[in-house]
Structure 1
Amino acid sequence: MANNIKLSPLISDGMVLQRDAQVKIWGNAIPDECITLTFMDKAYSTKCDKDGYFEIVLNNLPPGGPYNMTISCKDVQKEIKDVLVGDVWVLGGQSNMELPILRTLDLYEDEVKNSENPDIRHFIVPLSYNFHKPQEDISGGNWISVNPEDVYEFSAVGYFFAKIINEKYKIPIGLIRTAVGGTPAEAWLSEKTVSKFERFLSSLNRCKDDDYVKNTIDTEQRRYSDWYKRLDEKDKGLCEKTVPWFSEEYDDRNWNTIYLPRSFKGTELEKIKGSIWFRKEIYLDEKPSKEKVKLILGTLVDADETYVNGMMVGNTEYRYPPRRYTFPADVLKKGKNIIAVRLIVTHNIGSFIKDMPYKLDLGGCKIDLTGQWKYCVGTEMERLEEFTFFQYKPTGVYNAMIYPLRKYSIKGILWYQGESNTGYPYDYKEIFEAVIEDWRNTWNMGEIPFLYVQLANYEDPNGGNGWCHLRERQRRALEIPNTGMAVTIDVGGYNELHPQNKKAVGERLALWAMNKAYGENLVCSGPIYKSHKVLGDKIQLFFDYVGSGLVCKGDKLCEFTICGEDGKFVEADAVIEGDTVVVSSGKVDNPVHVRYAWSNSPDRANLYNKEGLPASPFTTEELE
């Protein structure tokens, strides 16, 4: 063993330690030697075991800082600088928790661009997975604070949550983001727990075969590289013998035209996999006066390379990120300018997603880019099969990204996940409850607050109604003690899997935190269905979290349906009576059940409380 001191990446410069708790500092040093830790004018000591492992506990630290911590073993010393003591929250889930501030700048660019708050810190756990056993430590990572350079890396949900909690309680906030885009809930379960769900066992067992995992990754990477190599070689728009199709000199007079944005479904482009080129002329009366301008192209399916006057201004490798390409204004000129998009369709039906912004932002003015574009197919290819994402498989990320955090004391957990379980939502309540129990057991800190986000409105292009079924299972998980659910049915969009309005999400989670973690007696949620009573040909609904009273945002309540014994739901009339809602329909004489906002993207949901918080979607039926 080398004569040095090795600590977890979590225990590093800029860290936030949990106040009023048992805080563990652990690592490896010199076997069988005494190790001393000095922090906040106190000294702690213990002896390393025969392997050099040590663990020191700091009890009930008061909030404050910054401080330095010194750890010494024999003649070796390590200093950790800029340490704060406050509240630490774990950010778990998939891409909507992962989503950085950088992806929300359509809404928050002006708000965050000069942000400076050294009391809010953020740590990103590196992506890793292990199917054999839990790992003792994470592979890397570092603490950053809110400043004009680093704020863009922060989880947007986490940032807006932390901002509110920090402002209200004047204590440092640490955020540990351990979220991975696309992961289903079972990926975050321990092997012991996941083994209770028989449908995951074959997948887990297969992933224990290292050769299978390695060969799959190698084969798919070769296939991916080969596909793109052949795409570029065959693409007529990139042919060296002609003027490239992204060039402003290229003559596109013989190309077809298409109105964008739109899906290619129902057009001659529907079945095309490969590259399709799009070109649009715009005219400027004068050169822009700004140093930089921004090209905004909604979101595109699947990948793109985008050019202005022959210069590539941006590219994106998959469908979900918004296309926001900033480039030097001197690329543009007075008169005619050419925007060219090389759209690469790998496995979906190509699309310029509708009802999103498509414009050239010149600062003083914005040029609308919707309308007629010219297009031509560069080359056709076979469908590119998707990767096997092993981080999505059961247990892997739990072992590598949750278990190694277990010694780091925390205040609570924020969770935003569920999208990847909508394909089969029917056992999500049991899986999600298992996640909560698993994580609480892992940290061994009792029933720490577990606050989660109910899925926002979104129209799943794969069809089905899995989103409303999953939301209902999220709602019913509120039965678990010390949990809270932020309702976000009004912050999404039918066409956006990653809604940018993460400020509302963070604020609503903060309300739950104030209630569950900080003991505030406040209205922390919109109305949540509690019970119902059949009154002849009507059903009366009762709610928790009514707050100051129920309100309808609009002329009348919408998105309520009702059914009789036949189980056929029809649109219903709904009226607020005191703290209840009474639902009926002339088509149903003997009602049995009511649903509210029961669709993937219920855009007319308008039941709120007077505090401005939306009601959760629900059904009064028993779960399947």
Structure 2
Amino acid sequence: MQISTVLGNGMVLQREVQNPVWGYTRPGEKVQLIIGEHHLETQSDKDGYFEILLPSMKAGGPWEIRLWDTTGRYVFQDVLFGDVFLLGGQSNMELPLSWIWDQVKEELAEIRNEQIRMFDLPKEYDFLKKRELLTQGKWVSACGKDLLAFSAAGYYAAAEIHKKENIPIGLLQTAVGGTPVKAWVSEETIRRQGYYEEELERCRDEKWVENTIAFETEREQCWWNVAKASFEKEIRYHDVINIPGFFTGDLKKYIGSISLKKEFRLQEEDLQIDGIVKLYLGAIVDADIVYINGIKVGDTTFRYPPRLYEVDKSVLHEGINEIVIHMFVMRENGGFMPDKAYELVLPQGRHISLMGEWEAATVERMPYLPDMTFFQYAATGLYNGMLYPLRRQKIKGCFFYQGESNTGVADRYEQEFSAMIGEWRSLWNDPSLPFIYVQLAGFSDGILPSTQTDWAVLRSEQLKAEHNKNVCMVQAYDLGEYNDLHPFDKKGVGHRIALACDSLIYHNSVFFKGPCAVDFAWHRDFVEILFETDTPLTVCDGTDRVHGFQTVDETGRIRNVEAKLKSENEVRVEIDERVKVLMYAWNNYPGQANLYSGSHMPAVPFCRKREE
């Protein structure tokens, strides 16, 4: 007998529906199941497939389920019935609590909630067939070290839903970092849309995939071997670099290894208190190995994770200490992300700043290292390997956070995304499956002011997808960080998902995503904009001055313009006769935008042509 690993100890099954317990065994086998007072049985078909429908169960537990035939036996213990949600998307949904633990540990350190559970699916792709069974993974509860593995956004949403509904919550975590929409739809959808057929055909060539992985893995390993070995030679520090900041001048195009060195002084009393010494090095583009007094204290192999290294106090000594960073720049534009923490924090709370001048040496100039081909990003692979094997699991709805990897083709996102929603509903045989999705957070890759608009265009495409029935979009542009692709405020995201869920799924309230401009009265030197809002408009700094409006004139020049609250649902924006376009929060990181509803939901971005 073979079953999917999603059926296991500690699982959460959807309440008040008939959940299938299924798998494969020998053809014609009698398969039996016991749950409580229910003794059920069936016979496997000619292919060995069997399915037993559990009786509809109220929320609660724990239950024990026993399943057996002559070939095998399973006992599922500690089974709960509650509401099950599928988590989908890319890294901002996948991002675990461990990533932001330094910010949330005081709040969550004592959490032990057996009623919130997650199954993290193995990240497996398949381009040749739709897989039937999951072969890895297990259910874990929001307790102790297992809590660290939870999707941060998923956990915060689940915690609010559990608190309000007082039922067990199960999360099926399918999100995979970096994935575009095309990875999450079937071959049939890919061929119908016609965008990625060539890519799909390449990926169906197993030998090509195998050879590509082998070649790129060897290329990457060779690059790293040379880069790391370069530090074995004598290093002469001939330059000074200021941290934080991106490299400029000749270093802007530099690719290869760099060594940086800085000294700091410790007093005797600094070393007398036991506890954890923390080294914060912001975010480094691209990778690093860090030493203090010649002893390695941490390393990170790619640019996005926060650099937080715990240092054993025995590494430090009274007087002058030395920190050395072996830095690796693989694709130009290296540096240290601005507005991050660069410091050593001692157990007693003393902060030693590491910002400012560092001695530096370019150690080994190297060739550009191309990105590897991440096959989990390719068309239909994860649909076949992860989603399809889940299709029999009954779910209450989907929480989805994705879009960063589609900004290169932002203008067709609504089409691809809507097709994906339809695909998932078809897969679960539920045409009204609730779908709550998060609009892109603000991000401008560490550059201010933000002038690029590809993320703004994708946000508008996400907004258009609200035409699908039984969906709800959650805004998050105001929860982003200009210098972090993975903003830390996942509690805010989870809270808004939970609010949307309370409305769309539980029908306890009406979700309001934010004030929306519904009417524009154009005058020669001003525009009056009427907003639809649930509560009176507010400005988050408490004044009546609204920031975030920009205009475009006939020459294409963009400039910031003044605006004020005129009434509880109206804003007056100052313009001149040359203005052709009026925009609000219309760039990749609209951090200056400050217009909210009284319920603290941000105004919806727009880009509006002047009405003659």
CA deviation digits over 1:67-120, x for unaligned, max 9? 111112147431011111001111100111110101112320211222210001
1:269-289 residue CA offsets vs partner (Å, 9 max, x unmatched): 223222101111110112151
Question: 1:267-286 residue pairs with structure 2 within 5 A?
Answer: 268-286=250-268
Would the aligned equivalents of 1:571 and 1:585 in 2 still touch at CA under 8 Å? no
- Shift, 1:446, TM fit: 2.8
Q: Please tell me the residue identity of whatever aligns with 1:113.
A: A
Query: How far off is 1:41 after superposition?
Result: 2.4
Give secondary structure in 2 for the equivalent of 1:485. strand
| Post-superposition offset of 1:331 | 1.3
Counterpart among 352, 361, 371 of residue 345 in structure 2: 361
Find the partner of 1:581 among 567, 570, 584.
Answer: 570
Partner residue in 1 for 2:597: 609
Q: Which aligned pairs between 1:284-303 and structure 2 lie closer than 5 A?
A: 284-286=266-268, 287-303=271-287
CA distance in 2, matches of 1:329, 1:41: 59
Q: Secondary structure at the match of 1:472?
A: helix
Q: Trace 1:87-126 onto structure 2 (pairs within 5 A).
A: 87-126=83-122
Residue 534 of structure 2 corresponds to: 547
* CA distance in structure 2 between the aligned counterparts of 1:379 and 1:303, rounded to whole angstroms: 15
Residue 273 of structure 1 aligns with an amino acid whose one-letter code is I
How much has 1:363 moved relative to structure 2? Answer: 2.4
SS in 2 for 1:313: strand
| Deviation of 1:59 (Å) | 4.0
Q: Do 1:131 and 1:204's aligned partners in 2 also have CA atoms closer than 8 Å?
A: yes
Distance 2:472 2:522 in 1: 31
Deviation at 1:550, TM superposition (A): 1.5
1-structure distance, mates of 2:357, 2:561: 42
Kindly state the Cα deviation for residue 436 of structure 1 after the two structures are TM-superposed: 0.9
Counterpart amino acid of residue 450 in structure 1: F
Match for residue 210 of structure 1 among 206, 210, 235: 206
Aligned to 1:561: 550
C-alpha spacing 1:269/1:138, structure 2 compared with 1 (3 Å): same
- Match of residue 249 from structure 1: none
Q: How far apart are 1:129 and its partner, in Å?
A: 1.1
Matched residue type, 2:513: S
Amino acid in the other structure paired with 2:549: F
Q: Which whole-Å deviations, capped at 9, do the CAs of 1:351-398 have from their partners, x for residues lacking one?
A: 111110111111221111111111112211111111011111111111
Moved more, 579-588 or 153-162: 579-588
**Superposed displacement of residue 552, structure 1:** 1.4
Instruction: State the distance in 2 between where 1:371 and 1:143 align.
Output: 46
What are structure 2's unaligned runs of at least 5 residues? none
Match of 2:242 in 1: 259
RMSD of aligned alpha carbons: 2.1
- Figure out how many residues of one structure are paired with residues of the other and give that number: 601
Structure 2 equivalent of residue 534 of structure 1: 521
Q: Secondary structure at the match of 1:104?
A: helix
* Structure 1: 5+ residue stretches without partners: 246-251
Tell me the CA shift for residue 451 of structure 1. 0.6
Tell whether the 8 Å contact from 1:560 to 1:583 is kept in structure 2 after alignment: no
Find the counterpart in structure 2 of residue 248 from structure 1. Answer: none
3-state SS of paired residue (2:130) = coil
The range that moved more, 280-289 or 117-126, is: 280-289
Distance 1:201 1:53 in 2: 32
The worse-fitting range, judged by mean Cα deviation, of 67-76 and 427-436 is 67-76
1:399 aligns to what?
384
User: SS where residue 422 of structure 2 aligns?
Assistant: helix
CA distance, structure 2, for counterparts of residue 399 and residue 98 of structure 1? 19
Select 2:355's aligned residue among 370, 380, 384: 370
1:501 and 2:484 aligned: no
1:278 counterpart letter in structure 2: L
SS at match of 1:215: helix
Post-superposition offset of 1:540:
4.4
Measured at CA, do residues 558 and 48 of structure 1 come closer, stay the same or move farther in structure 2, by a change above 3 Å?
A: same
TM-score normalised by structure 2 residue count: 0.94
Aligned residue number for residue 329 of structure 1: 313
For the residue of structure 2 that corresponds to 1:92, the secondary structure is strand
Deviations 1:482-523 (A, max 9, x none): 111121122111111000110000001000000001111244
Q: 1:52 to 1:523 in 2, by over 3 A?
A: closer
**Between 129-138 and 309-318, the greater mean CA deviation after superposition:** 129-138
Please state if 1:619 is matched with 2:604: no
Which residue does the alignment assign to 1:459? 444
Letter in structure 1 aligned against 2:113: N
- Once the two structures are superposed, the pairs formed by residues 60-209 of structure 1 within 5 Å of their partners are 60-74=56-70, 76-209=72-205
Letter in 1 for 2:247: F
| Percent of pairs with identical residues | 38
Separation of aligned partners in 1, 2:277 and 2:598: 42
Q: Could you tell me which of 328, 347, 358 is aligned with 1:344?
A: 328
Aligned to 2:6: 10
Does the residue aligned with 1:426 lie in a helix, a strand or coil?
helix
Q: 2:367 is matched by which residue type in structure 1?
A: E
